[in-house]
Structure 1
Amino acid sequence: RDGKPSSQAENAVDGTKGYGHVHVTSDLDVMQWYHVAHWLPFTKPCYAIVQFEITGPMVGRMQVVEPDNDQTFDATVHVCIVLEVNAAATITCVVVDVLANIEYDNDDDNLDHVMTHNVRTRLRFAQAFQPNTPTTIRCTNLEPSTRYAYTFEGIANRDDRQGVFHTPDAQLNAINIVAVSTNFPQDRVTSSPNLWEALHTRLQVPWHGIDVVAHVGGQAPMQSAANECLGWLQSQPKKRSYCDDMTMWKERVRTRFQQEYRVVWNTPFLRTVLSHTSQLMVLTAADVASFFGRSKASLVKEGRSEEDVALMQLVVACAKDVAALYYGALGWRNDGDAPLDGERAKTGGKYVYP
């Protein structure tokens, strides 16, 4: 301020500088402006600033938990909600029963009374976040067959990062699944019908009847990003073995793949789909590159050099790592619950996506 540097700011305003960020949706109907702040040290804690490119929220697995035989409580539901932010912070997810008239906090002294009488109407779940990493908030002790709204405390644009979901029935014996694959919303033609827009419209209706959206490949157009990464790796100086720089290269390639997911999943109506019902995602060849799954011998036979083949394998490995990072955060696979056998035993307990 006034051309004078400040060693320690007194408040958040004094300690902030930043730049403007303009976002235009793919249909050019919406333009939004954000001030992306850069925080200088100051004496009070600051909230994490969430840019428009950051992903979430996404609703993941919903699990009905049966009570133990020696308990009298009814069954409850555990829900995974995934969010990614661009700064380290502790963020609280506030879950509210939209039909309830009374509010209780899950840190209230009367929580036992509240749970016994099935009046869990407003629950708060705090979670520590690391920057640029999808993080799971596990919302526990929710009521079956209940419609909940949720929002977040600790992010700047919380009004844009909220959602609604309904929990399954405790005696659920059938589910309705909608499967999507290689349907890129950012490339849609506005004059033709689009599945994502139809899902968006359907999910605006309370008790819409869609239990799970299964993404079976092609969540984002990864082929162009993979080609870019391969070209960039091939252009790097060859003074040293590529192994010397592998850690740095992998980080940059993973970041490039993360950008593709962020762009697609932040399309406004798709963001609504992700935040309003349970999502299940499966990795396929469409999520990596055209050379996915091809053997080294076949690539060499086509004239690829040994170094190019190694770089291709690096790109594919990074694409699979990023996919597993996002898909795994949805909570469908729990490495700690299953015995180490088969392929998991070879990887130290980690699931390997096909």
Structure 2
Amino acid sequence: MEPSMKRPLNDFICAGGLLFCLAVTHADGLDRWPLRYSAPGEMYFSSIASGPDRFVAVSENGRIVTSTDAIQWTLVQSGTTARLDSVASGNGVFVVTGYPDTVIRSTDGTNWQSAGWQEPATLPGIVAFASNYVAVGTRSDVFGLGLKGPLVMISPDTFAWEHIPLTQSFLWSSRVEFQSVTFGKGLFVAVGRGLNDVAFIVYSADGRHWKLVNDIFDGLQSVAYGDGVFVAGGAAQIATSTDGVRWRKRDPGHDRAIPGITYGQNTFVSVVSGGLIMQSDPIASLMLGRSSPLELSIFGPVGKSCQVEATEDLGATNGWETVANFVLTNSPATWTDPGSTNKSQRFYRAALQP
């Protein structure tokens, strides 16, 4: 059965008080996820990544599918029958980790080769940044006692891996198991589960020292970054953040798990339980400058029409007024609000038009 979808009345709100002039970014398009693909038979996707010209999604029994548009998908041979847990793209290479002891790589998403792996561990999350790869997961035999524990590995080429020691007591005392990791705005952000399957989000500037987000989420399994926004997916929910630290819970419009999510072609694409692939609407975002009159930068797909609305009172009924309509000729596009002069506060929201 195809999941039901919901269209939001409002997308995101960007607020700025002229006395404080906070720079805040929000995005829209993440409350609507049209179904793009339903895999034949019993094929359950675990992860998805976006490269320069295609998407790659991985599944159990070594199965991989690729697409150039997130709509038409093709099954390719991976050369393994292992359970594939995670896929990442970076430095011109797709890298897939799996269980047991599996790392494979490809430069085109179609032809795959083994990269070797000799650790007693599971690595469900991997991300490329700069010239390195960082993988997160669970070490299955800590201290030779059969205990599980959090694991972070780093590699320049996916062949040689360095184990990153983790000393934070909360990671070990809660028996943390990393599920997914991404990189954006100078931060690693990872999601996973701890004792009693309680979900968590952690962030780190260097991949070695991690801090816990002070919020509770249900069953987070995946996280991605794109266009200034972090998006985490889990059990019938998503959470979004513009800084990796403060998060907003969202309704994806269906009641299924989201084990994988990626950003590409100005949208987020997710793999969903039941062998489904869904794609968000195109992303548009606002950034508020520190000047008077206020200057906004609007990020979004070039060629799309954008509407900006403003209000001085969020509690007022029908308080929003349209202050600008224009086509994005570039991204970001800059717009100055002449109506913001001498205002104590002003709130903005933007949405792409059909």
Same fold per TM (> 0.5)?
Answer: no
- After TM superposition, the score normalised by the length of structure 2 is 0.22
- After TM superposition, the score normalised by the length of structure 1 is 0.22
More strand by share: 2
Larger radius of gyration: 1
